[in-house]
C-alpha cells in the first residue's frame, strides 16, 4: 500500500499542496481527480521523487519512499516523452533494464506488452515514426515493462481514441487484478467512473473527497429519487415536503422522504419505476470542488 | 525486486549513448572527414611541393644547370627564352651574360631557381634537433585540430541531455536511477567512443606518414602520440562534463546556443592559444601545465623534445586533479538543473541546494 501523509509543497509564495493525505490500496484502481492546476501532477511528482516535498511523508509498504524502493514503481509522467530516435522495442527493453530487470526478462516483457498493446508491428520503428496515439501506448509500455509493484499514471488516457482507451484499460485492469495498486489521474470523469474502485478528489491543493466509489456516491446521494408513472406526474409537486428537481411528463426527480411519495403515487396511478438517484462522479466532483 | 546497481545503471546509460551515436550518420561522416583531413594535411605538401622548378636555358648557360634540381628546357635564343617566361611556360630563363649567366624572370626573383645556382656555404647546427620547425608547425596543427574536433564532438552530450529534458523522459530516468549515474554514463559512453576514434587515428597516422614519405619522422611522432592520447582523453572528460552542464541548463535544443558559448571558449581558446604561441618557449611551457591547454601544448613540447617526461607526468597529474574537481562541480550543477524546466537555469540556481 502507498501511504501519502500530510504532503505540502509551495512554489515561491504559492502553496500548491496543503497537507495532502490518501492511500492507494493493493489491487485497486484509484482515480485521482481534480481540475487543472489543482495539484495532481505535483503530488505524483513528489511520490516519484522528481520533486521534493516541503513536509509530509510518502511510504510504501511501511517504508519511506526513496531511491532504494522507487525503481519498483512504474511511472507515466504527464508530459509524455521517450527518446524520439530510438526504436520502440530497444527503448522499452532498455528502460526495463534500467529498472534492474535482466536482459532476457526485459526482452520477454517488452514483447508481451507490445503484443497486449497491439504494437508488435511497430516494434522495430523509431518512436518518432509512430502516431501520437501509438506513442502514448509505448509510453504505457514504458511504465509497465519492469512489472512494477505500484503504478502511478498521470492522465494515461488523454490523447487516446476510444479503442485505444479500451486496450489500455484492459492492460491496467490486468495489473490491478494481479494485486498492483494503481493511481491514475484523469479529467475524463466518465472513464474514472467506469474504471476506478477508489476515488481521491483534490481541489486547490487540498483533498476534498476520498474513499471507495460506492461509498462516495452513497455519501453524496442524499434523498434524491426518480419516479416514472403511467400518466402525468405533475401531482408530485403537491405532496407535502417534496422539492421538485425535474418534471417532464410522466417522469419526476425530487428530494423528499421517499415512502410518503410512493404511497401517494400508488393511490393515484400506475408506477412504472421508482429509484434512488445515485449521483455520478461528475456531480460529486462539481459539488465538492 | 531486482535493482540496477550504480555501475550497471552507468553502463546502461553509456551503452545507450554509444549506440545512439554510432547509428547516426553524422557521426561517421564527421569521423571520415577527420581522417581524410589529417591524411590531406600530411600528404598534400609533398604532392604539391615536390616538382622541380621549370627553366628555359640558352647556349653556354646549359653548363651552369647541369646536375641541379631543375627541369631544364633548352631553347635557341634569349628572345625565345624570354617569350617562354612571359607566357608563364617556365618559371625562369637562364641565359649567358658576358662570361657568366643571368636569370630572367617575370615579376618576382625566383628564389628556388637561384638557390640551385649559387654555391651555398656549409651550415653546422650547434643545437641540432630531429624536428624541423616546419614539422613542429604541422604537429601543432594536427594535435590542435584533433583536440578541437573531439572537444567539439562532446557537444553531443549536451544535445543528448537536452533531448532528455525536452522529451521529459528525464522524469522517468530520475525516478529510476541516480542523477550521477546518468551523468557518469554519458561521459563514459562518449569518452569510450572518442578513445575508439583516437585509436583508429593513431593507427592510421603512421600509414599517412609513410605515404607522405615522412617515415623517418615516425620515431619522433610515436612517443608524442603516446603522450597525446592520455592528455586528449583526460581533456575530453574535462570538456564533456562541461558540455553535460551546458545541456542541463536549458530545456530546448533551440536554447542550447546560449549555454554552449563558455564551453566552446574552453575548447577553442586552447587551440588558438597554442597555434599563436607555439614558437614562444616560455608561453608554451606555461600552457603545457594549464589543464585546458596542456592537452595540446605538452605533447607538442614533447614532440619538439623540449620537455622531460617528469614534466608530462606532472602536467597529467594537474589535469587529472582538475578533472576530478570539475566533475564534482558539474555533478552538482547537473543535478540542480536537470529537472528545472522553462527557459535557461541560472548557474547560481543550479548550484543552490535542492528545495
> What confidence tens digit (pLDDT) does each residue in A68-98 have?
888 889 999 887 789 988 999 999 999 999 9
Of B175, B178, B355, the CB nearest to A50: B175
| Contact assignment for A100 to B12 by CB distance below 8 Å | no
CB of B7 within 8 Å of any CB in chain A?
no
Chain B residue with Cα closest to A84: B167
Q: Which of A67-76, A263-272, B137-146, B299-308 has the highest mean pLDDT?
A: A67-76
Quote the pLDDT of residue A180: 93
Q: Are A71 and B4 in contact (CB under 8 A)?
A: yes
Q: Are A46 and A30 in contact (CB under 8 A)?
A: no
Closest chain A C-alpha to B336 CA, distance in angstroms: 11
Quote the pLDDT of residue B125: 64
Of A52, A84, A97, the CB nearest to B354: A52
**Chain A residues close to B349, C-beta within 8 Å:** none
Residue-wise pLDDT for A148-181, tens only, equals: 999 999 988 887 888 888 888 888 889 999 999 9
How much is the CA Rg of chain A, to the nearest whole Å? 23
More confident residue, B88 or A198: A198
Q: Which of B117, B146, B162 is the last residue of a domain?
A: B117
**B122: in domain:** no
Q: Does B277 share its domain with B321? A: yes
**What is the β-pairing status of strands A271-276 and B92-97?**
unpaired
pLDDT tops 70 at residue B2:
no
Has domain A2-218 been given CATH number 3.40.50.300?
yes
**B123: in domain:** no
CB of A70 within 8 Å of any CB in chain B?
yes
Quote the pLDDT of residue B76: 82
Q: Give the span between the Cα atoms of B94 and B109, in whole angstroms.
A: 13
Supply the angle between the helices B218-248 and B155-167 in degrees, to the nearest 10: 20
Q: Does B230 share its domain with B101? A: no
Q: Give the span between the Cα atoms of B30 and B35, in whole angstroms.
A: 9
Mean pLDDT of A41-67: 89
Q: Does B15 share its domain with B141? A: yes
Q: Give the span between the Cα atoms of A96 and A113, in whole angstroms.
A: 12
Quote the pLDDT of residue A26: 92
pLDDT tops 70 at residue B85:
yes
Quote the pLDDT of residue B270: 81
Of A51, A68, A97, the CB nearest to B12: A97
| Contact assignment for B172 to A102 by CB distance below 8 Å | no
CB of A52 within 8 Å of any CB in chain B?
yes
**B127: in domain:** no
| Contact assignment for A85 to B20 by CB distance below 8 Å | yes
Mean pLDDT of B151-171: 87
pLDDT tops 80 at residue B278:
no
| Range in A6-20, A55-69, B7-21, B41-55 the model is least confident about | B41-55
pLDDT tops 60 at residue B355:
no
List C-alpha distances in Å: A111 to A95, A119, A131, A163. 13, 9, 20, 21
Number of domains in chain B: 2
CB of B25 within 8 Å of any CB in chain A?
no
Residue A14's DSSP bridge partners are A11
**B302: in domain:** yes
More confident residue, A232 or B127: A232
**Chain A residues close to B174, C-beta within 8 Å:** 49-50
Quote the pLDDT of residue B315: 92
CB of A100 within 8 Å of any CB in chain B?
yes
Q: How confident is the model at residue B67 (pLDDT cuts 50, 70, 90)?
A: confident
Q: What is the per-residue DSSP string for A210-268? A: EEEHHHHHHHHHTTEEEEEESS--GGGGGSTT-EEEEEETTEEEEES-HHHHHHHHHHH
**B222: in domain:** yes
Phi first, then psi, for residue B209 (nearest 5°) are -65, -40
Please return the burial class of B145, using the count of CB atoms within 10 Å of its CB with bins 0-12, 13-18 and 19+.
Answer: middle
Q: Give the span between the Cα atoms of A89 and A124, in whole angstroms.
A: 6
Q: Does B183 share its domain with B87? A: no
Domain range spanning residue B109?
Answer: 54-117
Instruction: Supply B94's cell numbers.
Output: 637562364
Residue-wise pLDDT for A1-21, tens only, equals: 999 999 999 888 889 999 999
**B124: in domain:** no
E strand or H helix at B48:
helix B25-49
pLDDT tops 60 at residue B49:
no
Q: Does B213 share its domain with B318? A: yes
| Contact assignment for A79 to B4 by CB distance below 8 Å | no
Closest chain A C-alpha to B196 CA, distance in angstroms: 23
Quote the pLDDT of residue A57: 92
- The number of residues in chain B equals 355
| Contact assignment for B4 to A99 by CB distance below 8 Å | yes
Phi first, then psi, for residue B15 (nearest 5°) are -60, -45
Of A52, A70, A82, the CB nearest to B169: A82
Q: How confident is the model at residue B48 (pLDDT cuts 50, 70, 90)?
A: low
Mean pLDDT of B208-236: 79
Q: Does B38 share its domain with B69? A: no
Interface test with A, best of B1, B9, B173, B340 (most A CBs within 10 A): B1
Q: Which of A120-134, A274-288, B252-266, B271-285 has the highest mean pLDDT?
A: A120-134
Burial B207-229 (b: 16+ CB within 10 A, else e): ebbeebebeebeebbeebbebbe
CB of B21 within 8 Å of any CB in chain A?
no
| Contact assignment for A83 to B339 by CB distance below 8 Å | no
User: Is ipTM over 0.90?
Assistant: no
Residue-wise pLDDT for A98-137, tens only, equals: 999 999 999 999 999 999 889 999 999 999 999 988 898 9
| Contact assignment for B169 to A81 by CB distance below 8 Å | yes
Mean pLDDT of A27-54: 89
Q: Give the span between the Cα atoms of A101 and A123, in whole angstroms.
A: 19
Q: Could you tell me where the beta strands, DSSP code E, fall in chain B?
A: 54-58, 71-75, 92-97, 100-104
Comparing CA positions, the residue from A120, A32, A115, A112 lying closest to residue A76 is A32
Quote the pLDDT of residue B44: 66
Of A49, A94, A97, the CB nearest to B175: A49
| Contact assignment for B172 to A149 by CB distance below 8 Å | no
Q: Which of B86, B117, B148 is the last residue of a domain?
A: B117
Closest chain B C-alpha to A285 CA, distance in angstroms: 29
- What fold, for A222-288? Alpha-Beta Plaits (3.30.70)
Q: How confident is the model at residue B50 (pLDDT cuts 50, 70, 90)?
A: low
- Residue A128's contacts (CB-CB under 8 Å, 6 or more residues apart) are A84, A85
Chain B residue with Cα closest to A75: B172
Mean pLDDT of B30-44: 78
Residue ranges covered by each domain of chain A = 2-218, 222-288
Average pLDDT along chain B: 82
pTM of the model: 0.78
Q: Does B319 share its domain with B302? A: yes
Q: Does B17 share its domain with B95? A: no
Amino acid at each position: 500500500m502507498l501511504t501519502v501523509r500530510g504532503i505540502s509543497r509551495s512554489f515561491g509564495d504559492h502553496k500548491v499542496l496543503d497537507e495532502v493525505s490518501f492511500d492507494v490500496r493493493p489491487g485497486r484502481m484509484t482515480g485521482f481527480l481534480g481540475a487543472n492546476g489543482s495539484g495532481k501532477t505535483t503530488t505524483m511528482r513528489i511520490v516519484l521523487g522528481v520533486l521534493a516535498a516541503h513536509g509530509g511523508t510518502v511510504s510504501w509498504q511501511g517504508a519511506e519512499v526513496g531511491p532504494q524502493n522507487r525503481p519498483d514503481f512504474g511511472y507515466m509522467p504527464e508530459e509524455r516523452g521517450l527518446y524520439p530516435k530510438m526504436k520502440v522495442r530497444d527503448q522499452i527493453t532498455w528502460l526495463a533494464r534500467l529498472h534492474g530487470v535482466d536482459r532476457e526478462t526485459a526482452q520477454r516483457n517488452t514483447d508481451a506488452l507490445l503484443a497486449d498493446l497491439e504494437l508488435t508491428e511497430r516494434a522495430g520503428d523509431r518512436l518518432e515514426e509512430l502516431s501520437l496515439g501509438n506513442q502514448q501506448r509505448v509510453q504505457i509500455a514504458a511504465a509497465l515493462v519492469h512489472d512494477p509493484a505500484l503504478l502511478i499514471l498521470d492522465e494515461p488516457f488523454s490523447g487516446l481514441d476510444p479503442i485505444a482507451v479500451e486496450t489500455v484499460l484492459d492492460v491496467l485492469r490486468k495489473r490491478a487484478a494481479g494485486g498492483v495498486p494503481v493511481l491514475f489521474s484523469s479529467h475524463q470523469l466518465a472513464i474514472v467512473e467506469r474504471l476506478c474502485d477508489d476515488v481521491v478528489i483534490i481541489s486547490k491543493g487540498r483533498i476534498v473527497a476520498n474513499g471507495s466509489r460506492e461509498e462516495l456516491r452513497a455519501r453524496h446521494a442524499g434523498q434524491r429519487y426518480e419516479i416514472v408513472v403511467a400518466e402525468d406526474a405533475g401531482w408530485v409537486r403537491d405532496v407535502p415536503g417534496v422539492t421538485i428537481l425535474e418534471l417532464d411528463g410522466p417522469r419526476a426527480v425530487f428530494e423528499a422522504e421517499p415512502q410518503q411519495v410512493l404511497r401517494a403515487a400508488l393511490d393515484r396511478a400506475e408506477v412504472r419505476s421508482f429509484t434512488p438517484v445515485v449521483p455520478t462522479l461528475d456531480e460529486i466532483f462539481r459539488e465538492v470542488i | 525486486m531486482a535493482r540496477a546497481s550504480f555501475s550497471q545503471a552507468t553502463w546502461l546509460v553509456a551503452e545507450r549513448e554509444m549506440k545512439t551515436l554510432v547509428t547516426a550518420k553524422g557521426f561517421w561522416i564527421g569521423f571520415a572527414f577527420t581522417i581524410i583531413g589529417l591524411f590531406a594535411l600530411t600528404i598534400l605538401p609533398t604532392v604539391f611541393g615536390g616538382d622541380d622548378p621549370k627553366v628555359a636555358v640558352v647556349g653556354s648557360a646549359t653548363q651552369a644547370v647541369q646536375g641541379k634540381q631543375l627541369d631544364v628546357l633548352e631553347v635557341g635564343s634569349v628572345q625565345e627564352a624570354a617569350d617562354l617566361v612571359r607566357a608563364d611556360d617556365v618559371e625562369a630563363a637562364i641565359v649567358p651574360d658576358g662570361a657568366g649567366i643571368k636569370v630572367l624572370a617575370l615579376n618576382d626573383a625566383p628564389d628556388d631557381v637561384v638557390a640551385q645556382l649559387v654555391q651555398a656555404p656549409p651550415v653546422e647546427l650547434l643545437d641540432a634537433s630531429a624536428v624541423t620547425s616546419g614539422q613542429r608547425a604541422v604537429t601543432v596543427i594536427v594535435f590542435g585540430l584533433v583536440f578541437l574536433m573531439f572537444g567539439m564532438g562532446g557537444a553531443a552530450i549536451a544535445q543528448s541531455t537536452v533531448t532528455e529534458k525536452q522529451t521529459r523522459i528525464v522524469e522517468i530516468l530520475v525516478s529510476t536511477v541516480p542523477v550521477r549515474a546518468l551523468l557518469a554514463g554519458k561521459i563514459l559512453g562518449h569518452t569510450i567512443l572518442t578513445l575508439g576514434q583516437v585509436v583508429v587515428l593513431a593507427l592510421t597516422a603512421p600509414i599517412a606518414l609513410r605515404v607522405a614519405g615522412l617515415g623517418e619522422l615516425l620515431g619522433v611522432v610515436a612517443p608524442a602520440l603516446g603522450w597525446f592520447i592520455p592528455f586528449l582523453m583526460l581533456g575530453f572528460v574535462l570538456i564533456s562534463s562541461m558540455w553535460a552542464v551546458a545541456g542541463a541548463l536549458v530545456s530546448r535544443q533551440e536554447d542550447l546556443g546560449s549555454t554552449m558559448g563558455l564551453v566552446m571558449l574552453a575548447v577553442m581558446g586552447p587551440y588558438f592559444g597554442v597555434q599563436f604561441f607555439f614558437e614562444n618557449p616560455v608561453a608554451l611551457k606555461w600552457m603545457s601545465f594549464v589543464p585546458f591547454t596542456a592537452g595540446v601544448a605538452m605533447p607538442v613540447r614533447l614532440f619538439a623534445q623540449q620537455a622531460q617526461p617528469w614534466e608530462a607526468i606532472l602536467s597529467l597529474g594537474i589535469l587529472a586533479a582538475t578533472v576530478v574537481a570539475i566533475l564534482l562541480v558539474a555533478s552538482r550543477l547537473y543535478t540542480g538543473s536537470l529537472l528545472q524546466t522553462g527557459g535557461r537555469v541560472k548557474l547560481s540556481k543550479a548550484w543552490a541546494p535542492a528545495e
